[in-house]
Amino acid sequence: MVMPPEFPPGWNVTQPVLIADTFSSCVWKVQLPGGTPAIVKALKPIEDIADELRGADYLAWRNGSGAVRLLGRENNLMLLEYAGERMLSHVVEEEGDNRATQIAAELMAELYDVSPEPLPSALLPIRDRFEALFQKARDEQSSGYRNDYLEGAIVADQLMSSALELRGLHGDLHHENIMLSSRGWLVIDPVGLVGEAGFGAANMFYDPAERDDLCLDFERIALMADDFSRALNVDPRRLLDQAYAYGCLSAVWNAGGQEEARDLAIAKAIKEVRRAS
């Protein structure tokens, strides 16, 4: 049985209920004074805890605009606005993928618009996020042929070297990190990156995770690129390049498992749509 952490007295939270126990955190639904629900995220001492801590900096910077509010933070505990229970994946099932894509595009238009607030210094540059792919490409150079890891690294480097406008990015946007709250659709669980807006949309091409029929569909890839490029005011071809490079990075992260093959298959499909555009 997982026991709740010792909550800071100033938070005045009660009635903790464990709603998730993941590799990175335990998530508790609690009550604020007056009965308003909230979330306490208790981080575990994992190797990637820096991602979670940067995510808190990202939420503080967003200050509720398109994202859940960070209500409090002490050590490895975060007090967060309650985002509800309806995820964008539910929209895919009940209203269709096109509607879910429209919602995501509208939300990203808000998330990745120019902010009057300066970017937090704690956010990770996108090039650093791609270091695993760049290292994989260096390791693969001796193979004598150009595979997707090499090509993905080349594309990523070209995109980053020619970056136009940098934005604060969520960093792990997918259909279960977009929630319908009492304030509308909001994002949760950011990583906190700095890069072009297209990189902030890239993971959506690989999601929902169990819907290869969607993710490998050339027409869906093209339509998603059009919707996202209009919302973000970016060239759809550049966005497809960013999505392709991201898939190669994700494949490195998932090396040795079924997810690696899936990531590469979707990345190849994206590359084909890009060639035809």
224-244 confidence digits (pLDDT tens): 999 999 999 999 999 999 999
> Is 173 in the same domain as 142?
yes
Compute the average pLDDT of residues 242-263.
96
Nearest to 201 by CA among 166, 240, 165, 164: 240
Res 8 pLDDT > 70: yes
Same domain, 69 and 158: no
36 shares its domain with 133: no
**pLDDT, average across residues 252-273:** 96
* Co-location of 173 and 238 in the same domain: yes
Domain identity same for 91 and 73: no
Q: Which residue has the tokens 């429209």?
A: 102
Give yes or no for residue 97 having a pLDDT over 90. yes
Indicate which CATH number applies to the domain containing 202.
Answer: 3.90.1200.10
- Residue written as token pair 């990175």: 24
Q: How far is CA 22 from CA 2, 25, 42, 46, in A?
A: 12, 5, 10, 11
> pLDDT above 70 covers what percent of the chain?
99
Chain mean pLDDT for the chain: 95
77 with 91, same domain? no
pLDDT of residue 144: 67
Q: Is it the case that residue 215 has pLDDT exceeding 90?
A: yes
Burial 240-270 (b: 16+ CB within 10 A, else e): bbbbbbbbbbbbbeeeeeeeeebbbebbebb
Two tokens, residue 259: 């997810």
pLDDT digits (tens, 9 = 90+) for 36-78: 999 999 999 877 788 889 999 999 999 999 999 999 999 999 9
The tokens for 121 are: 């210094």
User: Would the pLDDT of 93 be above 70?
Assistant: yes
Regarding whether 207 and 162 lie in a shared domain, the answer is yes
Q: Are residues 65 and 177 in the same domain?
A: no
Domain with 44 in it: what CATH number? 3.30.200.20
End position of a domain, from candidates 81, 115, 142: 81
- Count of helix runs (H) and strand runs (E) in the chain: 11, 11
**One domain for residues 77 and 123:** no
Residue 115: inside a domain: yes
For residues 254 and 153, state if they share a domain. Answer: yes
Domain end call among 51, 81, 111: 81
Question: Is residue 136, in this structure, part of any structural domain at all?
Answer: yes
Q: Domain limits at 56?
A: 9-81
Query: Count of domains in the chain?
Result: 2
Does this model's pTM top 0.85?
A: yes
Q: Mean pLDDT, to the nearest integer, of 259-269?
A: 97
Q: Are residues 212 and 265 in the same domain?
A: yes
* pLDDT, position 52: 84
Question: Given the structure tokens 């929902």, which residue do they identify?
Answer: 208
- What distance in Å separates the CA atoms of residue 67 and residue 87, rounded to the nearest whole number? 14
Has residue 3 been placed in a domain?
no
Write the Ramachandran bin of 149: left for phi over 0, alpha for psi from -120 to 50, otherwise beta.
alpha
**Domain final position from 49, 81, 113:** 81
Identity (one letter) of the amino acid at 22? T
pLDDT digits (tens, 9 = 90+) for 134-181: 999 998 887 666 799 999 999 999 999 999 899 999 999 999 999 999
Note whether residue 209 is domain-resident: yes
Query: Token pair 């937090």 is at which residue?
Result: 120
Report the C-alpha gap between 51 and 65 in whole angstroms. Answer: 20
Percent of the chain with pLDDT over 90: 87
